[in-house]
Amino acid sequence: MMAYPKASLRIEFGPEQRIGPGKVRLLELVAETGSISAAAREMEMSYRRAWLLIDEMNRMFKEPVIAAVTGGAHGGGAQLTDLGQNVVATYRAIEADSAQILAKRLGKVLGQISMAQPSAGRRSKRA
Looking at residue 125, what DSSP letter applies? P
Q: What pLDDT score does 2 carry?
A: 62
What are the per-10-residue average pLDDT scores of the chain (127 residues)? 77 93 97 95 96 95 92 76 98 92 80 68 53
- Decide: helix, strand or coil at residue 69: strand
Distances (CA, A) of 40 to 3, 69, 81, 84: 26, 17, 18, 17
Domains of the chain: 21-103 (1.10.10.10)
